[in-house]
Amino acid sequence: MKATNLFSQGALVLAPMAGYTDTAFRLLCRQHGVDFAVTEMVSSMALVMNNQVTQSLLYSFKEEGSCAVQIFGHDPVVMADSVQLDCIKPFSAIDINMGCPVKKIVGNGEGSALLQNPTLAGKVISAVKQATSKPVCVKFRLGVDDDANVVNFAKLCQDNGADLITIHFRTRKQMYSGQANFATLPNIVNAVSIPVVANGDVVGTQQYQSLIDMGAYAVAVGRGALGNPQLFNQIKGVADTPNLLQLITQHAQLMLSHKPERVVCNEFKKHASFYLKGIKGAKPTVVSVNTAKSVDDQLQLITQFLQNTKGDTLC
């Protein structure tokens, strides 16, 4: 399958976010306008070692639709072996993480460490490409300290078989701070013939449109969608103002349908704080949700708060 069959030009993609973009959140985003989604990153080594916790991260609802699995690693053989496992079969594309700035990952020569080791990065991409018939995508950053090598890295991805690239237009040094800098986007688009997906700081139609006008094939949205899955419809100009309490409850229920309660209780507090962010007087509720011992208790706290406030709908 060609990468352009995964989603059409101008599409909105949910960017991978570890600890957030599980199947529950991806399905919610799908119901609110996202065109394509990517799993949270999973270790290729853990997959080949048959690690059950890692495999559970790949659980997907059938209704979710087309989705890419994101893997990380530095060993071309392990990366190639991982994409041939049964747990990878349900996914329509492979996304290779070459952007993660987290110390533990970089220290292992993985994620954005591969930006500094283009020879190995090329070997990883071509090994994965040869091991799968699915489209192979690569997600990376502008560079380590600056954007001087981003065009060359994009070409390297293409030359080694990547079918699509997604670029987070920040350097590794920036982590998640400062602003994304899209100055090199037109040069990248001119230098490669594969689709370029632009990513960084998109929270509205104007930013989305300006990236498309600069030549991006599609736009990936990460943090803007947290606590706000309807952002995708809103960017598309589709009216979508869900009832906040119903949305939060649905999210928790979707998580509970595929994860143990104690895991959901821990993960859901992060989502809850995004949902309640910006609502006047929400802070004590967020604090209580963080220490609540069950998802029922978390939902009860949120229900009480929203029923006593006018913030129960998003507009």
Q: Just list the catalytic residues.
A: 100
| Nearest distance in Å: CB 48, ligand FMN | 19
175 CB-contact burial (10 Å; exposed 0-12 / middle 13-18 / buried 19+)? exposed
Sole binder of ligand FMN in the list 28, 41, 88, 189 (CB under 6 A): 41
Closest to ligand FMN by CB, 43 vs 305, is 43
For residue 224, state whether it binds ligand FMN (rule: CB under 6 A). yes
Q: Which residues contact 135 (CB under 8 A, 6 or more apart)?
A: 1, 2, 3, 5, 6, 92, 93, 94, 163, 164
Query: Quick one: which H or E segment has residue 210?
Result: helix 205-213
| Nearest distance in Å: CB 111, ligand FMN | 8
For residue 139, state whether it binds ligand FMN (rule: CB under 6 A). yes
Closest to ligand FMN by CB, 72 vs 305, is 72
Rounded to whole angstroms, the Cα distance separating 215 from 78 reads 34
Sole binder of ligand FMN in the list 201, 207, 286, 299 (CB under 6 A): 201
Rounded to whole angstroms, the Cα distance separating 94 from 113 reads 19
Rounded to whole angstroms, the Cα distance separating 119 from 246 reads 49
Sole binder of ligand FMN in the list 155, 173, 223, 258 (CB under 6 A): 223
| Nearest distance in Å: CB 166, ligand FMN | 8
Closest to ligand FMN by CB, 115 vs 306, is 115
Sole binder of ligand FMN in the list 74, 168, 259, 271 (CB under 6 A): 168
Rounded to whole angstroms, the Cα distance separating 230 from 247 reads 10
Sole binder of ligand FMN in the list 40, 81, 110, 147 (CB under 6 A): 40
Q: Are 184 and 151 in contact (CB under 8 A)?
A: yes
> Backbone phi, then psi, for 113, in 5-degree steps?
-60, -30
Buried b (16+ CB within 10 A) or exposed e, 189-224: beebebbbbbbbbbeeeebbeebbebebbbbbbbbb
Sole binder of ligand FMN in the list 222, 228, 252, 301 (CB under 6 A): 222
For residue 70, state whether it binds ligand FMN (rule: CB under 6 A). yes
Rounded to whole angstroms, the Cα distance separating 17 from 252 reads 18
Sole binder of ligand FMN in the list 3, 192, 194, 202 (CB under 6 A): 202
User: Could you tell me how many residues of this chain bind ligand FMN (CB under 6 A)?
Assistant: 23
Residue range at the interface with ligand FMN (CB under 6 A); choices 77-85, 118-126, 215-223, 283-291? 215-223
Residues that bind ligand FMN (CB under 6 A): 15-20, 40-41, 70, 97, 99-100, 139, 168, 176, 199-202, 221-224
